Amino acid sequence: MLSILRKARLKDKELRILMLGLDNAGKTTIVKWIMGEDVNTVSPTLGFIIKTIDFDGYKLNIWDVGGQKTLRSYWRNYFEKTDALIWVVDSTDRLRVADCREELHGLLLEERLSGASLLVFANKQDVQGCMTTQELSQELRLDEIRTHRWTIFRCSAMTGQNLKEGLAWVVEDAKARLFLY
């Protein structure tokens, strides 16, 4: 029933994407790069930023929500009608990977996020000594996720590596699940 309602709602080829992750993961930098903005002037997001981009014939409304510990309890206010969740991980932050895993798996239990695609961006792959996507996949226990279609992409918010490819995956997954045409 939910998928039928989503298909009816999405006739205009519009997707609501929620971008979350711990603070300093690079969410805002990713959004700025996608929008063609200067990625060298980024400050922590205190609240949220909404950006809209036309991508491959689809209108992507990207909700970039701050990841500071004090803001995470407010994330639930942004879950409604989410088509895709982009979870951004700082691949250099080995000390907080367990926190990252707990937050992600907690989100996936949320009913209002059920059915949403999950794209994990393993950010900061341009930094020497970062965790690989295999290492992150194991640390985040991605293979245990059965409730959402997911994938992981290595990326760099500073260089743009794989950002468009990740968005393309989100759009393709949405086409397969949400659109009638």
Pair 20, 75: CB distance under 8 Å: yes
* CB distance 179 to 89 below 8 Å: no
CA distance 85 to 156: 18
Pairing, β 48-55 against β 84-90 = unpaired
Identify residue 109 by its one-letter amino acid code. Answer: L
Say how far apart CA 65 and CA 54 lie, in whole Å.
20
Query: Considering 68, 128, 134, 161, which one is annotated as catalytic?
Result: 68
Cα-only R_g, the chain = 15
**3-state secondary structure (DSSP) of residue 132:** coil
Indicate if 128 belongs to the active site: no
Joined together, the tokens standing for residue 87 give 């979870």
Looking at residue 34, what DSSP letter applies? H
* Calculated CA dihedral for residues 116, 167, 11, 83, nearest 10 degrees: 20
Residues with catalytic function: 68
